Amino acid sequence: MTDILVVDDDEIVAQTIERTLLRHQFKPQVAKSGVEALKIVRRHPPDLMILDVLMPGMDGYKICEEIRRDPRLADLPILFLTARGKHADVVQGFAAGADDYLAKPFNVEELILRVKAILRRTQSRPVAPGARLDQLSMGDARLDSRSFQIHLPHGSFALTPVQFDLVYHLLIHAGEVFSTYELLRDVWDYPYDTGSPDLVRVHIRNLRQRMEQDPNKPVYIRTIPGHGYTFSPGGDVGE
């Protein structure tokens, strides 16, 4: 069974999530504080964490950042489930390293949809021979599937698994323009018109900070105003 750690100091909410996960054949465990959660994940990392923000002591953002700093846990999928639902809160959650963000009050079926989508994307699956190229080149950009690095004229840069999947998708479809919802569908495996566009925007911003010589004038991951994003290696400066 898939192990899911629920971190929430609200007992009623935690029990609701626990019951919902059990109904869908998941194996939930509940932690009521950030300290307790960190102890659990360091001893027995779950397959996914559902994390509240507003808790006494260490809040959810700090917990997420702490996990991302630990090389053994850096890839642990984290879904924020919190009453902090303003745009700035969502952006902060993704910047801290969240895989997804869902605001309270929430629909339990949407929660399960998000959980399953994250697990489909992050859990290892057999890859058909030839489904992903070891080396993918376009213009002056070369993406290496073995080292999770992108090689550009001004340097080589290591990518996180999510960053790699996003760059791979854009690069293999170089010149095509994808909206945020199309990327959520194609890269994050969410049904169309679900998920938060902020998830895409934060990852695009982080990729530009890592890859571009001038993140404010990107030449690789470009914005097409009103339409979305495209990969244009060595192309004209975009926004």
Domain's final residue, options 122, 148, 170: 122
- Only one residue has tokens 């090689």, namely 151
Q: Which amino acid is at 104?
A: K
In this structure, the answer to whether residues 90 and 169 fall within a common structural domain is no
Give the pLDDT confidence score for residue 226 in this predicted structure. 92
In this structure, the answer to whether residues 55 and 150 fall within a common structural domain is no
- 99: domain CATH number is 3.40.50.2300
Whether 236 is in a domain gets the answer no
In this structure, the answer to whether residues 109 and 154 fall within a common structural domain is no
- Only one residue has tokens 């390293």, namely 97
In this structure, the answer to whether residues 152 and 216 fall within a common structural domain is yes
- 139: domain CATH number is 1.10.10.10
Give the pLDDT confidence score for residue 51 in this predicted structure. 97
| 48, two tokens | 């996914």
In this structure, the answer to whether residues 141 and 105 fall within a common structural domain is no
| 103, two tokens | 């605001």
Look at residue 229 and give its three-state secondary structure: strand
DSSP state string for 69-138: HSTTTTT--EEEEES--SHHHHHHHHHHT-SEEEESS--HHHHHHHHHHHHHHHS-----TTSS-SEEEE
Whether 85 is in a domain gets the answer yes
Whether 127 is in a domain gets the answer no
In this structure, the answer to whether residues 89 and 191 fall within a common structural domain is no
Q: Which domain holds residue 219?
A: 135-231
Give the pLDDT confidence score for residue 72 in this predicted structure. 82
Whether 128 is in a domain gets the answer no
Q: Write phi, then psi, for 28 (nearest 5 degrees).
A: -85, 150
In this structure, the answer to whether residues 144 and 118 fall within a common structural domain is no
In this structure, the answer to whether residues 191 and 91 fall within a common structural domain is no
In this structure, the answer to whether residues 14 and 104 fall within a common structural domain is yes
Give the pLDDT confidence score for residue 237 in this predicted structure. 34
Domain's final residue, options 122, 156, 185: 122
Whether 100 is in a domain gets the answer yes
Domain's final residue, options 96, 122, 148: 122
In this structure, the answer to whether residues 85 and 192 fall within a common structural domain is no
pLDDT tens track of the chain, all 239 residues?
A: 899 999 999 999 999 999 999 999 999 999 999 889 999 998 899 999 999 999 888 899 999 998 988 888 888 999 999 998 888 999 899 889 998 999 999 999 999 999 998 998 877 444 433 444 567 888 889 998 888 899 999 999 988 878 888 998 898 888 899 999 999 888 887 777 777 888 899 999 999 999 999 999 999 999 999 999 999 876 443 33
Give the pLDDT confidence score for residue 236 in this predicted structure. 40
**Cβ partners under 8 Å of residue 134, min gap 6:** 144, 145, 146
The closest alpha carbon to 172, from 132, 204, 227, 205, belongs to 132
Q: Write phi, then psi, for 121 (nearest 5 degrees).
A: -75, -35
Give the pLDDT confidence score for residue 85 in this predicted structure. 86
Burial of 25 (0-12, 13-18, 19+ CB in 10 A): exposed
CA dist 237 and 239 (Å) reads 7
In this structure, the answer to whether residues 96 and 40 fall within a common structural domain is yes
In this structure, the answer to whether residues 24 and 118 fall within a common structural domain is yes
The domain tally of the chain equals 2
Give the pLDDT confidence score for residue 195 in this predicted structure. 76
